Structure formats: structure tokens, C-alpha cells
Amino acid sequence: MTDWPTVGAIIAFWVSLCSLVFAGSRLPLPLVVAALGVLGGFYMSLQHEVIHGHPTRSRELNRAMVGIPLGLVQPFSQYRETHLAHHNSDLTNPLDDPESFYVSAETWERAGRLYRLFLTANRTLAGRVAMGPFLMAWRSVSTDIPLAARRPDVRIAWLTHLVGSAVVLTLVYESPLPIWAYLAGFVFIGSALTSLRSFVEHKAQADEARPAAHRSAVVRSGWFFGLLFLNNNLHYTHHQLPGAAWYRLPELTDVLDSGSVVADSAGTYDGYGAIVRRYLFRPFDQPVHPMSSRIRA
């Protein structure tokens, strides 16, 4: 069965992006860069929705809708593999969860002063938003280089990605839009918005008695961020029902009483304003996983 709201969101995205790139010169450039940033974050939300099987039953058709490497950082197939591994992992465990921002005690002990400063800054919202786009790129490359040495599919994915990225940059270069505006807006700001969304999504627990599901938070946002992130901010609900379409998550959050379930664990937040006020320059959590002494390789 076709998921028509998601199809509509994808069509709206492409119409908006093409309008900005090829006709945005009539608008003030700062406004265009900001709009591109919103579209960059929205594109990653659409890719996330496709990874979880929407909007059609055809994986190939779904990928064709949002598989073009507009963000330039990571091949879609590798993003899909990493994200599904995240869902099947011991959430937040840095030795098992590929999307964890925690490190083991051994890594912290070996870290130099600058690396420890980076790890601590990355736990503040200001640090995560500023460094998140670069960290995302570094993780992607550093993870896939060893894989590419032994997996032909990874090499093909990256070759296809690099060719596709070159085509995207060429089209932007030939358009009325300055290429720096695309890079600053769609690529950097879009990735920074995604970093905002993921900032408090998961919090490690020192209490072994708590279910792993309680490591996923709930952020109750207004319509803007709810649409931008396709309700993935209701993250506990998404992890409980990863196949549920984005527009069903608010109702399912109420059904599961998700906010109450994680209120004293990963946390429930009343919007991103509350997160900014609490964690803009203050660490959200320590960099070292609280159970690191028991998760050694």
C-alpha cells in the first residue's frame, strides 16, 4: 500500500529545492541559504523514512525518490546499513551502536587533552551543532575505508556516491545559485539541524534493570520541528514501532504514553527551546559510557 502523505512530502521537497536553486535569485540570499538549510534537514528526514520502508513496498522505487547524494557526505546505502544496525544494537554502547556519541573508558584514558576537549564540547548543543556536520562526514569516511578494502559493495557505493555528488555540484554551479550558498545552506545547516534533532535522542543508563528502550527520549515540539524531523523527535515511539509512518507517531506516542515511560530515564522535553536553554553550553551527559567497564571488547 502506498504511503501517500510521504509521497506528497517528497514531491513538495523536490519542487521547493528546484525552485530555490533555479529561481531563488529573486529572493534575498540569506533567506535562500536559510531555506536551503531547512530543506537539507528535511531531506535527511525523508531518507530516514525511506530506510524504514516508506512510502511504497518497492525498495528500489523508494531509493530513487531520495537516493541522490544531495548532502554530499555519505552514500545512501551506507546510511541505511548504519542506521538499521543502530536499531538492532545495544543502544548507546559505543562498541555496538554505530550512532553512539559515547566512548569507552579505555578510549577516554588513551585520549589526549585536545581529544578530551572535543569529546566534552561535542556533548554541548553548541558544540554538536557546530561540529556535527564535520563529525558526520568523518564517521562516514573513517568507518567505510576499512570496509571498502574487503567489500566490493562498499567500493561501488562510494564510487557511485562520488560521481553523483560531482553531478549535483555541477548542476548547482551551472545554476543561478552560488555554490557556496548551497554548501552553507543545504549541506552544512541541513546537517546541523539533523545534529540538533539527534542531540538528546539517546541517553545511556547506569541502571542495568532498566530496559534498553528507555534510552530513547521524547521531544514534544511544535509543528515546525515536527514536520522538519517527520516526528522522529518522538524517538522512543519510533524505536518501539520503527515501521510506523511519521504522521502516526504523535498518536502512537499518546497510546504508548511514551513521555511518561522515559521521563526519568532518557527524558521528555517540552520542545527544542528547553534543550537550548539547558544544554547550549553545558554537557548533556558525560562522554564516557556509564557501563563502559562492563562492555569491553
Mean pLDDT in residue range 222-239 = 97
Max distance between CA atoms of the chain, in angstroms, equals 58
Note the pLDDT of residue 291. Answer: 76
- In sequence order, which ranges of the chain are alpha helices (DSSP H)? 4-23, 29-51, 59-66, 76-87, 105-110, 113-121, 125-148, 152-174, 179-182, 190-198, 223-228, 235-240, 249-256, 258-261, 272-279
Going by the DSSP 8-state scheme, the letter that residue 239 receives in this structure is H
User: Does pLDDT of 167 surpass 70?
Assistant: yes
Cα 229 to Cα 282: distance, rounded to the nearest angstrom: 24
Local confidence band at 295 (pLDDT 50, 70, 90 cut-offs): very low
The neighbouring-strand residues paired with 218 are 268
Mean pLDDT in residue range 95-99 = 93
Cα 12 to Cα 188: distance, rounded to the nearest angstrom: 21
Mean pLDDT in residue range 214-237 = 96
User: Does pLDDT of 272 surpass 90?
Assistant: yes
Q: Give Cβ neighbours of residue 282 (< 8 Å, ≥ 6 apart).
A: 124
Which of 68-78 are b and which e, b meaning 16 or more Cβ less than 10 Å from the residue's Cβ?
A: ebbbbbbbbbb
Quick: pLDDT tens for 27-59.
Answer: 999 999 999 999 999 999 999 999 999 999 999
Of 4-18, 85-99, 175-189, 281-295, minimum mean pLDDT range: 281-295
The neighbouring-strand residues paired with 219 are 269
Local confidence band at 297 (pLDDT 50, 70, 90 cut-offs): very low
